[in-house]
């Protein structure tokens, strides 16, 4: 390392040659020394070695002061240029220009503004802010208890309800039709809306009469008690309830009563037998009643007429129904079939 004043004086040949060699040595060592060369002029570049081998400073003399160009570390073989900058054109950094990284990592910035990698996280985790001062992280998100209000729930179909399938996943139960009821499908499947099973009361009709009707004959005749019903389905059943007033007088006789649906006798042959029987030939009057209930299966959705008939079993004295304006009643109830 050397410096020279770059002035070669007149002298003998050996002296001039030595002076020239010193100039060349100064040039070859970049005018290195611990201070600026004494012969420096504006434009002289020199190497300041006062900082040691790890901090040689390359300087440019502008005629009044030295301008630092960079610091050379001969141990690490590196140069740190002073006041240098590289401008990267917008939209010029492509994926190919970026250094390799860990798959799934993201780039963020730390509290010092330096770029840092955000670790990939686990499957299903979401990127969560940690607030100012640190980069975000991937975390498992949990919903606190009692946090999901009706406003938070997604819209659905009107009338649907929420249940769970065999895997425990929430599913929508379809609304169903008017009148259907929610019916369990047992374990392994959500419930469904279905038509209600048998036993549902669908309609009730009622009739009564107080028309006095008498008989002295063993032949059957209408009692004037009848009622009409039109089932809503052929699978429906009809519950028949009857309360019929009966009276006998003037002899040892009694009454039999039959119940009909249209022309078909129901409840067995002669549903009511020997009503008001006293086993007495006395002519005194005896009043009583016939009570009856029967679940009929008409297998029809057409209008049906239910009625009662009676007779004078022995053909003596007189048998009367609805006597002296006593009321007789018939109630018909349609029950959903099963």
Out of 3.40.50.1370, 3.40.30.10, 2.60.120.760, 2.60.40.10, select the CATH number for domain 201-335: 2.60.120.760
What pLDDT was estimated at residue 263? 97
3-state secondary structure the chain: CCCCCCCCCCCCHHHHHHHHHHHHHHHHCCCCECCCCCCCCCCCEEEECCCCCCCEEEEEECCCCEEEEEEEECCCCEEEECCCCCCCCCCCCCHHHCCCCCCCCEEEECCCCCEEEECCCCCCCEEECCCCCCCCEEECCCCCCCCCCHHHCCCCCCCCEEEECCCCCEEEECCCCCCCEEECCCCCCCCEEECCCCCCEEEEEEEEECCCEEECCCCCEEEEEEEEECCCCCCCEEEEEEEEEEEEECCCCCEEEEEEECCEEECCCCCEEEECCCCCCCCCCEEEEEEEEEEECCCCCCCEEEEEEEEECCCCCEEEECHHHCCEEEEEEEECCC
pTM strictly above 0.75: no
Domain ranges within the chain, ordered by starting residue: 13-81, 160-194, 201-335
> What is the tens place of the pLDDT at every residue in 138-177?
999 888 888 888 888 899 999 999 999 998 899 999 998 9
Give per-residue pLDDT as tens, 259-270.
999 999 999 999
Using pLDDT thresholds of 50, 70 and 90, give the confidence band for residue 197.
Answer: low
* In the predicted structure, residue 1 carries a pLDDT above the cut 70: no
- Residue 75 pLDDT level (bands cut at 50, 70, 90): very high
Q: What is the mean pLDDT of residues 4-23?
A: 86
pLDDT, mean of residues 53-77: 92
Query: Which pLDDT band holds residue 208 (cuts at 50, 70, 90)?
Result: very high
Please say if the pLDDT value at position 86 is more than 80.
no
| pLDDT category of residue 26 using cuts at 50, 70 and 90 | confident
At 329, the pLDDT band (50, 70, 90 cuts) reads very high
Q: How confident is the model at residue 281 (pLDDT cuts 50, 70, 90)?
A: low
Confidence of residue 85 (pLDDT cuts 50, 70, 90): low
What is the average pLDDT value for the chain, to the nearest integer? 90
């Amino acid at each position: 390392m050397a410096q020279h004043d770059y002035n070669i004086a007149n002298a003998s040949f050996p002296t001039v040659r030595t002076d020239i060699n010193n100039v060349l040595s100064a040039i070859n060592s970049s005018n290195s020394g611990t201070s600026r060369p004494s012969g420096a002029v504006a434009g002289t570049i020199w190497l300041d070695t006062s900082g040691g081998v790890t901090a040689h400073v390359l300087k440019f003399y502008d005629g009044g002061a030295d301008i630092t160009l960079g610091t050379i570390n001969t141990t690490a073989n590196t140069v740190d240029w002073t006041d240098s900058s590289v401008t990267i054109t917008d939209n010029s950094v492509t994926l190919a220009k970026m250094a390799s990284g860990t798959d799934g990592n993201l780039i963020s910035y730390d509290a010092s503004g330096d770029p840092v990698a955000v670790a990939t996280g686990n499957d299903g985790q979401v990127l969560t802010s940690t607030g100012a001062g640190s980069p975000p992280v991937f975390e498992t998100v949990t919903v606190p208890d009692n946090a999901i209000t009706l406003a938070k729930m997604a819209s659905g179909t009107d009338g649907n309800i929420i249940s769970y399938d065999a895997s425990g996943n929430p599913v929508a139960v379809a609304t169903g039709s008017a009148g259907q009821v929610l019916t369990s499908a047992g374990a392994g499947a959500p419930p469904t809306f279905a038509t209600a099973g048998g036993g549902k009361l669908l309609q009730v009709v009622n009739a009564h009469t107080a028309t006095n009707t008498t008989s002295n004959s063993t032949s059957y005749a209408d009692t004037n008690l009848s009622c009409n019903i039109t089932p809503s389905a052929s699978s429906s059943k009809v519950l028949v309830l009857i309360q019929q007033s009966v009276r006998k007088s003037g002899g040892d006789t009694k009454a039999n009563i039959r119940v009909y649906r249209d022309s078909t006798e129901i409840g067995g042959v002669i549903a009511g037998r020997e009503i008001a029987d006293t086993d007495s030939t006395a002519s005194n009057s005896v009043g009583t009643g016939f009570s009856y209930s029967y679940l009929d299966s008409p297998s029809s959705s057409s209008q049906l007429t239910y009625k009662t008939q009676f007779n004078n079993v022995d053909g003596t004295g007189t048998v009367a129904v609805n006597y002296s304006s006593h009321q007789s009643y018939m109630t018909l109830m349609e029950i959903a079939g099963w």
